[in-house]
Amino acid sequence: MISEKLEKELNEQINAELFSSYLYLSMAAYSGSINMDGAAKWFQKQAQEELEHAMKFYHYLEERGGRVLLTAIKEPKKEWKTLEEAFKEAYEHEKYITGRINKLMDLAVAEKDYAAQSFLNWFVDEQVEEEASTLAIYEKLKMVRDYKGGLFMVDRELSQRG
């Protein structure tokens, strides 16, 4: 059985993952609105992945005898000045999520909840990838900046995400 404190924090993490999904879907819509269709596809996939993260927490909480309690998802930002700015914020958001995962791990360690630590390890590894991928795209966009040809090349590359 999971502790009440961890149950509360895992419920908050479900909300944070759902918000991540909502934020990336909003970035997808923004990308589509400026004809960056590859980026729109990339963000849609990312939004889908975040839903999967939320469901991982959902199922885990149930498995451990906790109760899933859903709360309101905050409205995401809708406009960015450039695609570069959107990816910069995606990277910053991932760093914020890493901080949340680390706090969850701190709690699991403090409570000597070994099962929760093992579960959270997947997210610790996943965050390394999430930060690396958003940072790499942000860096590329920063490099091409006002060069339209470069921007289209990055967009085409983003459309390859399987």
Q: Which positions lie near ligand OFO, rule CB under 6 A?
A: 17, 20, 50, 53, 94, 97, 130
Minimum Å gap between C-beta 5 and ligand OFO is 21
Minimum Å gap between C-beta 102 and ligand OFO is 13
Minimum Å gap between C-beta 41 and ligand OFO is 17
Instruction: Name the residue nearer to ligand OFO (CB basis): 50 or 84.
Output: 50
Instruction: Name the residue nearer to ligand OFO (CB basis): 54 or 151.
Output: 54
* One-letter amino acid for residue 25 of the chain: L
Angle at the Cα of 126 from the Cα atoms of 89 and 51, rounded to 5 degrees:
70
Instruction: Name the residue nearer to ligand OFO (CB basis): 7 or 17.
Output: 17
Residue nearest to ligand OFO (CB): 20
What tokens appear for 38 in the block?
A: 């590859």
